[in-house]
């Protein structure tokens, strides 16, 4: 005999597995956001350490605005990732443990065994119907809880990726901005060196040959001729 409850249980089971796979997807994608956040943290440190050296006041304002946007985006991304992986964590509704299910089965069996009008076949049918009805209830409750949790987790995950993407974009702009300003300052210095006026040229003095020393006149010397005559 066809029991439509079997089809309903199959559908509810598919929904249960779908929500489980969604939860697993969020857990498996943990690595990439934290890798990007680590890179952003290192980039923020390098940019702040570099500071505004050699940057004009106008560029300094742009630099500060970009850094503030970068930090805000990173902080918001961390906040939403915290909600995804810490607040909700591994939260997931499931069936009661095996011992509780078995206890329910034993209690149901005792209950229907007290019915005098039930023979063995009817007893098994009532037990089967009871387990099916309870399984439908368990699936319905767990799917409702898991759907709500996964929807909240999905919104937080979407916001985390959105702000992380904004942070990465702003981070790229910051590095491009710093590179362009440094290149502009370097080119400006080179132009100043090229167009720097040369020092005045000193006139070249003509080179003259050395002058011979003057003739020495000795007042106390005796002419050679007078010496011979004596």
In a domain, 170, yes or no: yes
Output the pTM of the full model. Answer: 0.65
In a domain, 3, yes or no: no
The range of the structural domain enclosing residue 172 comes to: 8-189
Six-digit token pair at 175? 């590095």
Provide the number of structural domains found in the chain: 1
Residue 17 pLDDT greater than 50, yes or no: yes
In a domain, 71, yes or no: yes
Most confidently modeled range among 19-28, 38-47, 133-142, 183-192: 133-142
In a domain, 70, yes or no: yes
Six-digit token pair at 177? 């901005």
In a domain, 210, yes or no: no
Most confidently modeled range among 75-79, 128-132, 143-147, 179-183: 143-147
Helix, strand and coil in the chain, % to nearest 5: 75, 0, 25
pLDDT-wise least confident of 17-26, 65-74, 101-110, 207-216? 207-216
Q: How far is CA 208 from CA 23, 201, 205, in A?
A: 100, 21, 9
């Amino acid at each position: 005999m066809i029991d439509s409850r079997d089809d309903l249980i199959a559908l509810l089971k598919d929904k249960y597995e779908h929500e489980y796979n969604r939860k697993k997807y969020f857990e498996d994608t943990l690595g990439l956001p934290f890798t990007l956040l680590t890179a952003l943290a290192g980039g923020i440190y390098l940019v702040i350490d570099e500071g505004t050296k050699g940057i004009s006041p106008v560029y300094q304002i742009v630099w500060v605005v970009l850094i503030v946007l970068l930090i805000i985006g990173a902080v918001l991304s961390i906040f939403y990732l915290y909600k995804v992986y810490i607040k909700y964590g591994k939260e997931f509704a499931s069936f009661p443990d095996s011992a509780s299910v078995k206890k329910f089965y034993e209690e149901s069996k005792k209950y229907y065994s007290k019915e005098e009008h039930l023979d063995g076949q009817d007893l098994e049918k009532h037990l089967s119907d009871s387990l099916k009805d309870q399984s439908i209830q368990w699936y319905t409750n767990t799917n409702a809880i898991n759907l709500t949790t996964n929807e909240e987790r999905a919104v937080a995950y979407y916001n985390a990726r959105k702000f992380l993407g904004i942070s990465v974009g702003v981070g790229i702009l910051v590095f491009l901005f710093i590179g362009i300003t440094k290149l502009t300052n370097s080119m400006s210095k080179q132009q100043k060196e090229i167009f720097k006026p040369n020092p005045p040229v000193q006139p070249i003095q003509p080179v003259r040959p050395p002058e011979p020393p003057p003739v020495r006149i000795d007042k106390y010397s005796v002419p050679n001729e007078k010496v011979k005559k004596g």
